[in-house]
Structure 1
Amino acid sequence: MSALTETYVDNVIAHLPEKSRDDIAAEITATITDMVEDRLGEADPSSDDRAATVEREVLEELGDPVLLSREYSNAPQFLIGPKSYPIFIWSLRWVLPAVAVLTILANVVVHIATTPEVHLGALLGQTIGNTVTALLTAFAVITILIGLGERNMDGGATEKLPGGRSATWTVADLHRRDAAASQTRAEAVLNLIFMVLLALIPLIPTSLVYIGHLNGGETFVNPDLGTGWLLGYWGLLALMAVIEVIKLVRAAAGTGLLITGSVLDVAMAIFLTVALLTQQVLHPDLTNPAGAEVQQIITVIAIWAIVIWDQISTWRAHRRRP
């Protein structure tokens, strides 16, 4: 199988369920091979140029891999089109758990800081209600944004040109639509945005989320926290950002790069755990002495839950990727 056919097949199966990819890839490859051999039988089979030309003709006859994937898909994807469906699912898997964890942490911190006597029932009720609202809002925003983006994309194998003419899908479009590369770039961009937000957390005033009355609008972080802790935090984030930049430039994430990223994720989790257990990281006015230990435990558990979930999600996606 040539590199061109391999890329084409990868683009088709990238839009299909993991369990069916291998069988469908083999079927499409066999179909392409048979079509090429049949056509070469009518010409000079020894000509490499002729073989390459015939291969391109066959691929263009099969058409846009996104549309071809629809013929093999058992699950209709009407809300979000097949071109945007992979990044839509990836965004949900990434954003929704992050929103849930951050909402839970924010509610726990605010409730403990503002309630003289903490009651577990009241804490759970407030937290669950606000978390459900945040998840529904995040889901709606993701769906709307990607849905609008899908409508601005080419929705078929042809596109209209001035005068009503149609431009047929060609092999030249294949490289621009390399599904795996596009998804890797999209993930890298989203991760970089997320890291920028994490880097800004020590600088964000509490007044931005309407709890500035608790500590005069200062930051969430204890102003007496040593500078070394902040520099270490930003340094680890910078290293993690370098990994994402490499993914963005290469449009690929090799095993070595993923291992390095995993090591950095665990290092960050260890760093934050040590900081939380040995230092007063949160601003003192945001911490109720009676609930300080609960805050620490919940925050540490949340950090490791995010890291473990992130590693499972990353390696599963890497294994699924063609």
Structure 2
Amino acid sequence: MTTLTDRYLAATLRSVPVARREEIATELRASIDDMVEGRTAGGQEAAAAEREVLTELGDPDLLAARYADRHLQLIGPTYYLAWARLMKLLLSFIPVGVGVLVGVLEAADGGTVGQAVGAGISGTIQVAVQIAFWVTAVFAVLERTSTPLHLPAWSVDQLPETPLHRQITCADTVASISFLTLVIAYLPMQHFRSFVTDDGGGNLPILDPALWSSWLPFLIAVLVATIGLEIAKYRAGRWTWPLVAVNAVLNLAFAVPVVWLMSTDRLLNPDLVARFDWLGEVDNLNLVATAVIAGTVLVTLWDIFDSAQKAYRNRT
């Protein structure tokens, strides 16, 4: 069990610069202890005094912003935290959910895999933009008209049960493993049901079937190992340098073969390329190859950089 003070400190320190966390933690804990001691000296019970002191200090996010000299303001400071929390909540699942639904409907309507993926990505982006615009517009009007939201006041009961040292949440892990499982399942499935048909109505695999004797089993093994990494990350609760190293190795083990196969015209099924006149043109095929290679490289580099950055933040 952690005290309310420990939980309050953890909630505050997550939003302040890493270099100042130790200094701020020492200063804030000393201030809280002094304030609690002053109340208990007057005969108040320690637990009640601690709750009152933390309630007076207020929302940890507001206190963290003051320590970091960060302005909580986009359209105005009054409802900034309410706006930010609502935006994070809505953007965390609605755009992706709509994108998946749009992609499934496009595929069910006879669209190709590329059309389904394109429709899904387009739907996700459009919904995200619409949410960001309308939520911000509504809060701007509320701010300008000084409309009260009657939001409940912050209280210590809203503090998380444990200090917020966990970077890797259960939801993130489940989502990552689910995505990896779908990719692993689709690699063999596309050989029998790719949603692309040849001239005779038969199935037309997206990837070159010849890869089953070489690279596809290797890529599937890398994806399975990545699932193991996701489980290890969750058990650790945060990025560590060994996990960053393993993540970099697995990323490169997947990206390098994909880039090499695509650059040598060995990734896509030759029958698929011949099936579509547009894809059969050299310039268009090169454009697709460039897009796949660039996307793979960018995603790989960003994932490695992001994991290293998070591990660096945990150095203290």
Q: Report TM bin, short chain.
A: 0.5 to 0.7
1:65 aligns with 2:51: no
Distance 1:299 1:239 in 2: 23
Given that 2:258 and 2:267 are in contact with CA atoms closer than 8 Å, whether structure 1 keeps it comes out as no
Name which of 267, 277, 294 aligns with 1:301: 294
Given that 1:63 and 1:170 are in contact with CA atoms closer than 8 Å, whether structure 2 keeps it comes out as no
- Give the equivalent residue in structure 2 for 1:257: 243
Quick one: which amino acid aligns to residue 212 of structure 2?
G
Shift of 1:182: 6.2
Name which of 302, 315, 319 aligns with 2:308: 315
- Give the equivalent residue in structure 2 for 1:133: 122
Quick one: which amino acid aligns to residue 27 of structure 2?
A
Q: How many residues align?
A: 263
Given that 1:185 and 1:251 are in contact with CA atoms closer than 8 Å, whether structure 2 keeps it comes out as no
Shift of 1:284: 2.3
Identity %: 20
CA RMSD of aligned residues (A): 5.0
What SS does structure 2 have at the residue aligned with 1:174? coil
Quick one: which amino acid aligns to residue 260 of structure 1?
V
1:270 aligns with 2:256: yes
- Give the equivalent residue in structure 1 for 2:31: 34
- Give the equivalent residue in structure 1 for 2:194: 206
Distance 1:184 1:258, change over 3 A: farther
- Give the equivalent residue in structure 2 for 1:194: 179
Stretches of structure 2 lacking an aligned partner (at least 5 in a row): 101-110, 133-150, 274-278
Shift of 1:264: 1.1
- Cα deviation 1:232-269 (Å, max 9, x = unaligned): 11110111111111222332222221221122111211
What SS does structure 1 have at the residue aligned with 2:211? coil
Q: How does 1:208-227 map to 2 (within 5 A)?
A: 211-212=196-197, 216-227=202-213
Name which of 200, 213, 230 aligns with 2:216: 230
What SS does structure 2 have at the residue aligned with 1:252? coil
Quick one: which amino acid aligns to residue 73 of structure 2?
A
1:284 aligns with 2:267: no
Given that 1:223 and 1:283 are in contact with CA atoms closer than 8 Å, whether structure 2 keeps it comes out as yes
Q: Does 131-140 or 308-317 show the bigger shift?
A: 131-140
Given that 2:197 and 2:204 are in contact with CA atoms closer than 8 Å, whether structure 1 keeps it comes out as yes
Distance 1:56 1:266, change over 3 A: farther
Stretches of structure 1 lacking an aligned partner (at least 5 in a row): 45-49, 100-109, 115-125, 144-154, 159-167
Given that 1:13 and 1:24 are in contact with CA atoms closer than 8 Å, whether structure 2 keeps it comes out as yes
Quick one: which amino acid aligns to residue 30 of structure 1?
E
Quick one: which amino acid aligns to residue 220 of structure 2?
W
Distance 1:87 1:218 in 2: 40
TM-score (norm 2): 0.60
Distance 2:233 2:87 in 1: 21
Distance 1:254 1:226, change over 3 A: same
What SS does structure 1 have at the residue aligned with 2:289? helix
Distance 1:305 1:257 in 2: 20
Distance 1:7 1:219 in 2: 53
Given that 1:87 and 1:186 are in contact with CA atoms closer than 8 Å, whether structure 2 keeps it comes out as no
